[in-house]
Amino acid sequence: METLISIRQLVNQFGQQRVHDGLDLDIYRGEVLGIVGGSGSGKSVLLRTILGLNAPASGEIHFSGKELVTMPEEDFARLKRRWGVMFQKGALFSSLTVADNIQFPLREFSTLTADECRELMYVRLEMVGLEREVADKLPAQLSGGMVKRVALARALVLDPVVLFLDEPTSGLDPVSAEEFDRLIATLHGNLGLTVVMVTHDLDSLFSTCDRIAMLADRKIIVGSLRELLANPHPAIQGYFGGDRAKALLRES
C-alpha cells in the first residue's frame, strides 16, 4: 500500500511535559485511520502537529514524499489547500452564512465564477445531506449535527486528498452520530479519500475505521481492531477492556 503521510521520531514537549516521544506512524492512501487514546494522551496535539498548527520539538513528517516540518510556509500553505479539516466544534465563521462559509475556500483559491461557486455549494450540501434552506442561515442558528455537516461540506469543498476529522461525532446524539459515521463511510467510498479521524466514539471506531492508532506511553501502537485486541499492552487492554467496549465487541 502507498504511504501518504509518514511521521518519524516525532517529539512534542510542553515545558517539562513530554507528550510524544519518538512517535512513528504511517498513514496509507485511501484508508480510514482512527486515532484513539485516553484524555490527555496527545491525540489533538498529534493532529495539530500534522496540520502545522503546532511546531514539534523534533521529528519529521512526510506528505507524499515531501518533508513538512522544514517546508517553507508558502509551499506548506499551498499543499494544505488539498487537505480538508473538520474541527471539533466546526469552526464555522460565525459572521458568515452557511452558504458563504462553504464557498469561502472556493472564492479564495479557485478561478470559478460566483455562479459556479454557488452551484457547487449546493452540490456539497447535497453530499452531506442538508436541505437547501440551511444555506442562508447563520452558524448560530444551526443544531450541533448541522454544524458538523456544514463543517464537513466546507472541508470537502476543495476536493481534498486527505480529510482530517477531530472528534466528528462528539456532542451528537447516537442517531445523528450513526448517520454521520455512515456519511463519512459513503463519502470515503465514493470519493476515495484518505480519512484521519481523532475519536472517542467506540461505535465509529468499530464501524468506519480500517486501522486504529492507539496513543500509549507517548508512542503509537497501530493495527486493525483484531490486532489491537490481541495486543497485551496494558493501555490497550484498559481502553478496550471497559464494559461498553466489550458490549460493542460482542455485537460486531
Partner 1 sequence: MINLEQQQQDDTLHLNLQGDWTFDQTEEIRAALAAITPVVKHVAIQVEAVSHLDVTAAWLVYRQAQLWKQQGREVSFLHFPQEYLGYFERAANGEPPAPGIRQQALAGVTDPLHLLGRKVFHLLHLWRSLITFFGHSLEALFASLLSPHLFRVRSVLHHVFTTGVSAIPIVGLIACLISIVITYQGGGQLRDLGAEIYTVDMVVISVLRELGVLLTAIMVAGRSGSAFAAEIGLMKTNQEVDALRVMGSDPFLILVVPRLVALVIALPLLTILADIIALAAAALISSTILDISFVQFYTRVETTIEFRTFAAGIIKAPFFAVVIALIGCWQGMRVSGSSESLGKHTTQAVVDSIFLVLLLDALFSVLFYRLGF
Footprint of partner 1 (CB under 8 A): 82, 94-95, 97, 110-112, 116, 119-120, 122-123, 125-127, 132-133, 135-140, 156, 158-159, 186, 190-191
Considering the complex, state which of residue 162 and residue 213 has its C-beta at the smaller distance from partner 1. 162
Q: How far is residue 95's CA from residue 74's CA, in Å, rounded to a whole number?
A: 27
Considering the complex, state which of residue 13 and residue 97 has its C-beta at the smaller distance from partner 1. 97
Beta carbons within 8 Å of 93's beta carbon, 6+ residues apart: 100, 101, 104, 139
Nearest to 218 by CA among 57, 107, 97: 57
Considering the complex, state which of residue 180 and residue 240 has its C-beta at the smaller distance from partner 1. 180
Considering the complex, state which of residue 67 and residue 159 has its C-beta at the smaller distance from partner 1. 159
Q: Which residue has the cell 480538508?
A: 84
Q: How far is the CB of 64 from partner 1 (least distance, A)?
A: 14
Beta carbons within 8 Å of 78's beta carbon, 6+ residues apart: none
How many residues are present in the chain? Answer: 252
Q: How far is residue 225's CA from residue 237's CA, in Å, rounded to a whole number?
A: 12
